[in-house]
Amino acid sequence: MGMLEGSLLSGLNSGVVLSLIAVLWTMVWQNLQHLQLQQFFGRHLNRHARRLAAMVDPYLSVTIAEYDGGRMRRSDAYEEVKAYLSDASSRGVRHLRAERAKDADKLVLSMVDGEEVADEFQGATVWWWASSKPPARTDGGVPPWWGGGAGAQEERRFYRLFFLERHRGLVLDTYLPHVRRQGRAVMVRNRQRKLFTNISTHEWSDGGYTRSVWTHVVFEHPKTFATLAMDPAKKKEITDDLDMFRNGKDYYARVGKAWKRGYLLYGPPGTGKSAMIAAMANYLDYDIYDIELTSVHSNTDLRKLFIETTSKSIIVMEDIDCSLDLTGARKKKKKPLAAAAEDDAKDKKRKDPVADERNRDTTSKVTLSGLLNFIDGLWSACGGERIVVFTTNHVEKLDPALIRRGRMDKHIEMSYCGAEAFRFLAKTYLDVDSHALFGAVEDLLREVDMTPADVAENLTPKSADDTPDSCLAALVTALQEAKEKKASGANADDQDDEQDEGEEQ
């Protein structure tokens, strides 16, 4: 009996102990799970794995991609590294890419993908490797010939720098800043001024990884302020203003304004607005970005264009009154209900991506509001040292909000040829400072409106037999004919007015 009671007591004690152990284990396990034990061990194992990898492969790497900021703009660091490596590439690389240099007889060389070049810096050896990878397909299967797929997209290029781990501090803190400084110096030395124009936004890929939104040629326009037919006092006023802008970085920062300035050039056709832009670019040594607004699909695309412009540039929109409906009509026209329903039905039927590409709306939806934000909104402060130039033949047609001070800071009237401009043209085209016909020409110019382009054309020798006498005589004849035409036109208007008055009576 005693043995039976002992065994029962022992079994009971064992059950209690096991139950307590189970409860304690459950509590401990829950706490261990709360402490994320698995991740703790995972991090611990990864740390040891990295140390083991460092023993096998002691090299570290830094990748510098062509685009940064969500591919909103091209990386300055990438361009600086490319420029820095141009000299090293010509010495130690077998396969090179050649581009036109500032000197017509030279080329700028860079590595093609897959090539590697070594560089020495303060006793350390590093290696640069050029590579690229194709973008992901995000076009929904649209064939490349319709603007989709890899055919319309650009590979994502990058440089990768390899170096020993013991040189980490030297490379990151000293070598890379040195590369960027030297790269900028090479870029300045090889810089060619360029004339850019925007690619139609319908050629951009929806995936965002596209070719550059700009295409360009080398800017080689000969026009300068020295050869611009304009009143010398007015030219000096403009050049002084440009000098103040170019040297005004600290001023713009102090007053809290984006480092940009707007110029409105207005006047009749042939008065030299395009020549003025070329002279400004040559004077400042700036690039020109000529925006064709009718090729820009939306306000968002207009912002993308601005972001991809560089500093030290002039952004031009010529004949702004003809590009879009920016003449003050701000109210949106509502579509009739029947037309809106028809558009909805068309949208529902569209399933074929190729058909979508064919039927895609090609009209520009840039609005006045979008253009105003482009000029002086938040996005206009991305970067600095930019000049925005509008030209128009009919300034009175533009919305006042578009050309107010603060957007178009300086208004420059490009007027008809006056006495000072005529004398300048006579000196430039005929190399004469005075002539017996100067008085007759100047008197006629006070009565007749003639553009500097027309005056210059009449002063241009047409054959080897032409002399200053014959060219000035031809100009006098042209002015007299214009005067007679103007008088006959005025008489015709007077007769029409008299006829109208007679009919009213």
DSSP 352-407: -HHHHHHH---S----HHHHHHHHHSGGGGSS--EEEEEEES-GGGS-HHHHSTTT
Percentages of the chain per state (helix, strand, coil), in multiples of 5: 50, 15, 30
- 154 or 242: which carries more pLDDT confidence? 242
Confidence of residue 37 (pLDDT cuts 50, 70, 90): low
Residue 142, domain member (yes or no): no
Confidence of residue 21 (pLDDT cuts 50, 70, 90): confident
φ, ψ of residue 411 in degrees (nearest 5): -100, 125
DSSP 60-88: EEEEEESEETTTTEE-HHHHHHHHHHHHH
| pLDDT (mean) for 443-463 | 92
Same domain assignment for residues 207 and 320: yes
**How much is the pTM?**
0.70
Distance CA 152, CA 204 (A): 7
Residue 352, domain member (yes or no): no
Confidence of residue 55 (pLDDT cuts 50, 70, 90): low
pLDDT at 494 over 90: no
CATH assignment of the domain containing 399: 3.40.50.300
What is the per-residue pLDDT across 467-489, written as a single tens digit (0 to 9) for each? Answer: 999 999 999 999 999 999 888 87
Same domain assignment for residues 123 and 228: no
Same domain assignment for residues 126 and 99: yes
Residue 439 lies in domain: 419-495
Highest mean pLDDT among 3-12, 89-98, 170-179, 495-504: 170-179
Distance CA 102, CA 79 (A): 17
Residue 283, domain member (yes or no): yes
Same domain assignment for residues 245 and 386: yes
Same domain assignment for residues 270 and 401: yes
Contact 323, 317 (CB under 8 A): yes
Same domain assignment for residues 254 and 389: yes
Instruction: Note the pLDDT of residue 216.
Output: 86
CA proximity to 271, closest of 15, 450, 119: 450
Range in 1-10, 26-35, 333-342 with the lowest mean pLDDT? 333-342
CA proximity to 234, closest of 458, 452, 482: 452
End-to-end CA distance of the chain: 147
Report the half-sphere exposure of 349 (CA within 13 A, side-chain side). 8
Range in 29-33, 109-113, 197-201 with the lowest mean pLDDT? 29-33
Place of tokens 């979508």: 356
Of 413, 447, 471, the residue that ends a domain is 413
Range in 33-42, 303-312, 394-403, 437-446 with the lowest mean pLDDT? 33-42
Same domain assignment for residues 254 and 367: yes
Residue 39, domain member (yes or no): no
Helix or strand (DSSP H, E) at 214: strand 214-218
Of 372, 389, 413, the residue that ends a domain is 413
Instruction: Note the pLDDT of residue 143.
Output: 44
Range in 27-41, 178-192, 269-283, 400-414 with the lowest mean pLDDT? 27-41
Residue 340, domain member (yes or no): no
Amino acid at 448: V
Same domain assignment for residues 404 and 272: yes
Residue 503, domain member (yes or no): no
Q: Which long-range contacts (CB under 8 A, 24 or more apart) does 272-276 make?
A: 272/228, 272/229, 272/230, 272/414, 272/451, 272/452, 272/453, 273/318, 273/391, 273/414, 274/318, 274/391, 275/223, 275/228, 276/228, 276/412, 276/414
pLDDT above 90 coverage of the chain, percent = 33
Residue 77, domain member (yes or no): yes
Q: Could you give the number of structural domains in the chain?
A: 3
pLDDT at 200 over 60: yes
What is the per-residue pLDDT across 82-103, written as a single tens digit (0 to 9) for each? Answer: 888 887 766 667 777 777 666 6
Instruction: Note the pLDDT of residue 149.
Output: 42
- 51 or 376: which carries more pLDDT confidence? 376
pLDDT at 427 over 60: yes
Contact 167, 123 (CB under 8 A): no
Instruction: Note the pLDDT of residue 137.
Output: 52
| pLDDT (mean) for 28-56 | 60
Instruction: Note the pLDDT of residue 469.
Output: 93
SS (H, E, C) 222-241: CCCHHHCCCCHHHHHHHHHH
Helix or strand (DSSP H, E) at 345: helix 337-349
Angle among Cα 387, 389, 390 to the nearest 5 degrees reads 160
Same domain assignment for residues 448 and 430: yes
Tell me which DSSP letter residue 149 carries.
S
Residue 219, domain member (yes or no): yes
Same domain assignment for residues 68 and 128: yes
Same domain assignment for residues 262 and 406: yes
Name the average pLDDT for the chain: 78
Range in 17-21, 158-162, 410-414 with the lowest mean pLDDT? 17-21
Same domain assignment for residues 379 and 453: no
Tell me which DSSP letter residue 150 carries.
G
How does 129-167 read in b/e, with b if 16+ C-beta sit within 10 Å?
A: bbbeeebeeebeebeeebbbbbebbbebbbbebbbeeeb
SS (H, E, C) 288-313: EEECCHHHCCCHHHHHHHHHCCCCCE
